[in-house]
Amino acid sequence: MSLHVDVGAPRRGSHSKPRPAAGRGPGPADRRPRGRFSRFDLKYSPYFYIAPFFLLFAVFGAYPLGYTLWVSLHDWDLLGDEQAFVGLANYRALMADSDFWNSVVNTLGIFVISTVPQLLLALWLANLLNRQLRARTLFRMGVLIPNITSTAAVAIVFSQLFSREFGLINWTLDLVGVDAIDWKANRLASWVAISTMVDWRWTGYNALIFLAAMQAIPRDLYESAAIDGARPIRQFWSITVPLLKPTIIFAVIISTIGGLQLFTEPRLFNSGPNPIRGGPLRESQTMTMYMFENAFAPNYNFGYGSAVAWMLFALIVVIALVNVVIIRRLGNSARGGQ
Amino acid sequence: MRFSLRFSGRRRLAAAAAAATGVLLAATGCGGDDGAGDGTITLTVDVFGQFGYEELYKEYMATNPHIKIVERGTGGNLDEYSPKLTQWLAAGKGAGDVVAIEEGLMVEYKANPKNFVNLLDHGAGELEGNFLPWKWNQGLADNGKHLIGLGTDVGGMAMCYRSDLFAKAGLPTDREEVGKLWPTWQDYIKVGERFTAADTGAAFLDAATNTFNTIVLQEAGKSTGYHYYDTGDNLVVESNPAVRRAWDVTVDIIDSGLSGKYGAWSEEWVAAFKQAKFATIACPAWMTGVIEGNAGADAKGKWDIAAVPGGGGNWGGSHLAVPTQSRHQAEAIALAKFLTSPQGHVGAFQAKGPLPSSPQALDDPAVAQSTNGYFSDAPVGLIFGGGAKSLKPVYMGPKNQAVRTEVENAIRTVELGQRSPAEGWKDAVDNSKKAAAK
């Protein structure tokens, strides 16, 4: 049994530092840069090519980020005249704010019960799509359809489905003798309802990413595994998953960022007076909703809202790192099992 | 291939530089957009809900051919409108030339009157007689030296009910008799119990928060003249007997099981209108337009309007203001004056039902004798307009909207059975303190 699982994952050593000549590709070896301008071109053109992204990032990414930090150190009333510098007072108040911690718990709760099943489901779906199917392209494109529908439309339809009195879900539950659930005023129920929306939308998207990575796995690995007597389940866990590790890490990080910034779904799931609260007892208020509630209506406290934004940023970094570490471990142990 | 498709070095560098600057220009670029060149001025009016100005715009544009009016935000709700307006003011850009301001939010905008043109500097002072005195005063900031807004409507109160459901429950359906059934809120509860016993499949009222709002404004009007904040801007939710009385009556209504628990303004609330799931709703004048929109044409003639339990009161009403960021201030001020003239009040009332804040308009036969076909030809002018001139205003403090949200939410948790009335009251007091401190 000699399965070289390293085949797919490029090793660090294989990337040698690119030297100027290497960039010219397999052209004639004797073509050398001529003149000062060509050398200049060779050296600096790449920077111009990637410059648009970084310029845009500086204007629309880095600057707002820094400005938000600056605002978060002030008592900044959106309508007020003067904005007093208060240092870390907003952050101190935030640490003692039970509504803030409530929103953190909600965000993490919704994140866990949406992302974990979502990625597992996507992995399974990708594995199915990776087989010989009739009308394969149709099915592969089909899983992406939920993703191209507008989030707002999805949220509105789902919030109707999960309506207490007029909703299809409660009606169905009633048929099988289960009492109506008040999806919007029950904490766990509201988390489940919102997670359903997220999963519906993003499972297919992740499945396609996994599928693309799966197709890069050499077929002969599976063939030799089959000859060695490994069943499909075993092949999946011992070949597919370990080789997919970089892709899984990518998907987990993207899902972490998206999941912790969840706004549209819970905001539209809640309607009525001041829906930004996410239910009468803030059952499904996420951190972005809490940020909005403070920065805009009804509090108009821009400094406090900015402090929430920075806490969210910090949390995303922490969770993303934790996730990467966990996934690495899992991958290693799976590989170690070989 | 003979001709290399690759750019030569020089051209490649130029292309990269052009791409980079092009993107940057596109990202940051902006240009002037002033004037169509033919002297026409476009005025933007920002509103929420239904102000009923369409015909007035046409009239104004006919007499002022150089003005073009564009209205934004019709039908939208206040929760979405007010953050947008605040952002526009804070950014110094984006607001319309004339903007509507709801009375509950007026207090927050008064804190920084510089955002708005002082209408007193533009001859608005002589218009004072066109408005109910308290409505006029609500628009004044900076100790009466700065007039931010001219009054539009006021929220005279009534009780809207479905006469078909009342008939089904064996209750009187005539609006006079219905009004006599409930001089007080305790009587209203008794009627509700009779209604519930008849088991029509509908609840007696839509949501306890709507009822609470009505009662707290009545109680405040009758006694202190303020509810959540006293006139010195101290938060008095806990100590003001008017708030506590309204709370207790609302808890009685909840305890009697009369509420359908359809959170006001939610999608379920709208669906409950369509399916005739409740029989009564406390309705300020502007609510009639909302009911008609939600219940739809099928329910025409099934709704009627009776007197509200507990006497008169005021809920809601707006002003029109001109932000200083407007580039056509003079024209905008003229338009705001026109829309809030007695004639403008009458026109808006006829179109969508908001009750005038102008005594001349209230006396106008077009208002006083008007009926509403949707509500079984109820004499709306008489019902809403009758008490409007004697209305006592309720003072609203700096964080009125945020505090009101907290108290309403506490009511809602009690209504849904998530909190006991005692816990709910504690939440209302604690959370409103917290909201006021933010």
Distance to chain A for B253, nearest Cα, Å: 19
- Which of A45, A74, A90 best probes binding to B when mutated, by most B CB atoms within 10 angstroms? A45
Distance to chain B for A198, nearest Cα, Å: 21
CB-based contact (8 Å) between B5 and chain A? Answer: no
CB-based contact (8 Å) between B389 and chain A? Answer: no
Q: Which of A77, A280, A294 sits opposite B418 (nearest CB)?
A: A280
- Which of B48, B114, B116, B266 best probes binding to A when mutated, by most A CB atoms within 10 angstroms? B266
CB-based contact (8 Å) between B11 and chain A? Answer: no
Distance to chain B for A276, nearest Cα, Å: 10
Contacts of A182 in chain B (CB under 8 A): 416
CB A202 within 8 Å of CB A117: no
Given a cut of 70, whether residue A194 has pLDDT beyond it is: yes
Count Cα neighbours of B79 within 13 Å in the Cβ-side half-sphere.
16
Contacts of A301 in chain B (CB under 8 A): 438
Given a cut of 50, whether residue A337 has pLDDT beyond it is: no
CA–CA separation, A140 and B420 (whole Å): 53
Distance to chain B for A24, nearest Cα, Å: 12
pTM of the predicted structure, to 2 decimals: 0.80
* Residues A271, B263: C-beta atoms closer than 8 Å: yes
Given a cut of 50, whether residue A55 has pLDDT beyond it is: yes
Instruction: Give the right CATH number for A94-336 from 2.40.50.140, 1.10.3720.10, 3.40.718.10, 3.40.190.10.
Output: 1.10.3720.10
Computed on alpha carbons and rounded to an integer, the radius of gyration of chain B in Å comes to: 25
Geometric angle at alpha carbon A222, from A219 and A225, rounded to 5°: 150
CA–CA separation, B209 and B406 (whole Å): 11
Residue ranges of chain B with pLDDT lower than 70?
1-37
Task: Give the chain A residue nearest B414 (alpha carbons).
Answer: A280
* Residues B24, A45: C-beta atoms closer than 8 Å: no
Contacts of B24 in chain A (CB under 8 A): 52, 55-56, 59
CB-based contact (8 Å) between B401 and chain A? Answer: yes
CA–CA separation, B419 and B254 (whole Å): 12
**Strands of the sheet with B41-46, listed across from one edge:** B67-72, B41-46, B98-102, B318-321, B149-151
Instruction: Examine residue B342 and say whether the peptide bond preceding it is cis (omega within 30 degrees of 0).
Output: no
Encode pLDDT of B210-239 as tens digits: 999 999 999 998 888 899 999 889 999 999
CB-based contact (8 Å) between B134 and chain A? Answer: no
**What ipTM score was computed for the predicted complex, to two decimals?**
0.78
Task: Give the chain B residue nearest A301 (alpha carbons).
Answer: B438
Q: Which of B12, B268, B412 sits opposite A166 (nearest CB)?
A: B268
Contacts of A190 in chain B (CB under 8 A): none
Backbone dihedral angles phi then psi of residue A45, each to the nearest 5 degrees? -55, -45
In percent, the amount of chain A with pLDDT more than 70 equals 88
Contacts of B263 in chain A (CB under 8 A): 184, 271-273
Distance to chain A for B64, nearest Cα, Å: 34
CB A109 within 8 Å of CB A260: no
Distance to chain B for A226, nearest Cα, Å: 47
Given a cut of 50, whether residue A19 has pLDDT beyond it is: no
> Closest by alpha carbon to B107, among B79, B76, B140?
B140
Contacts of A272 in chain B (CB under 8 A): 263-266, 268-269
Contacts of A45 in chain B (CB under 8 A): 12-13, 16
* 3-class secondary-structure state, position B429: helix
- Which of B4, B254, B409, B433 best probes binding to A when mutated, by most A CB atoms within 10 angstroms? B409
Considering only A70-84, A253-267, B57-71, B139-153, which range has the smallest mean pLDDT? Answer: A70-84
Distance to chain B for A204, nearest Cα, Å: 29
* Residues B418, A41: C-beta atoms closer than 8 Å: no
The set of residues, in sequence order, having a beta carbon less than 8 Å from that of B342 and lying 6+ positions away, is B130, B356, B358, B360, B361, B364
Q: Which of B112, B263, B416 sits opposite A273 (nearest CB)?
A: B263
CA–CA separation, A130 and A124 (whole Å): 10
Backbone dihedral angles phi then psi of residue B80, each to the nearest 5 degrees? -90, -35
* Residues B413, A281: C-beta atoms closer than 8 Å: yes
CB-based contact (8 Å) between B438 and chain A? Answer: yes
**DSSP string covering B121-139, please?**
GGTGGGGGGGS-HHHHHHT
Distance to chain A for B32, nearest Cα, Å: 22
Walk me through the domains of chain B, giving residue ranges and CATH numbers: 7-154+316-363 (3.40.190.10), 157-314+386-437 (3.40.190.10)
CB-based contact (8 Å) between B369 and chain A? Answer: no
* Residues B12, A41: C-beta atoms closer than 8 Å: yes
Contacts of B402 in chain A (CB under 8 A): 298-299
CB A86 within 8 Å of CB A73: yes
Q: What is the mean pLDDT of chain A?
A: 85
Distance to chain A for B30, nearest Cα, Å: 15
CB-based contact (8 Å) between B351 and chain A? Answer: no
Considering only A69-73, A149-153, B98-102, B198-202, which range has the smallest mean pLDDT? Answer: A149-153
Distance to chain B for A33, nearest Cα, Å: 10
Tokens of B112: 């920084």
Contacts of B278 in chain A (CB under 8 A): none
Locate the domains of chain A by residue range. Answer: 94-336
Contacts of A59 in chain B (CB under 8 A): 24, 27-28
Please report the number of interchain residue pairs, chain A to chain B, with beta-carbon separation below 8 angstroms: 132
Distance to chain B for A257, nearest Cα, Å: 25
CB-based contact (8 Å) between B238 and chain A? Answer: no
- Which of B110, B259, B267 best probes binding to A when mutated, by most A CB atoms within 10 angstroms? B267
**DSSP string covering B83-115, please?**
HHHHHHHHHTS---SEEEEEHHHHHHHHTSGGG
Computed on alpha carbons and rounded to an integer, the radius of gyration of chain A in Å comes to: 25
**B339-371 burial, b if ≥16 CB within 10 A, otherwise e?**
bbbbbbbbbbbebbbbbbbbbbbbebeebeebe
Q: Which of A59, A281, A299 sits opposite B418 (nearest CB)?
A: A281
Say what the pLDDT of residue B14 is: 53
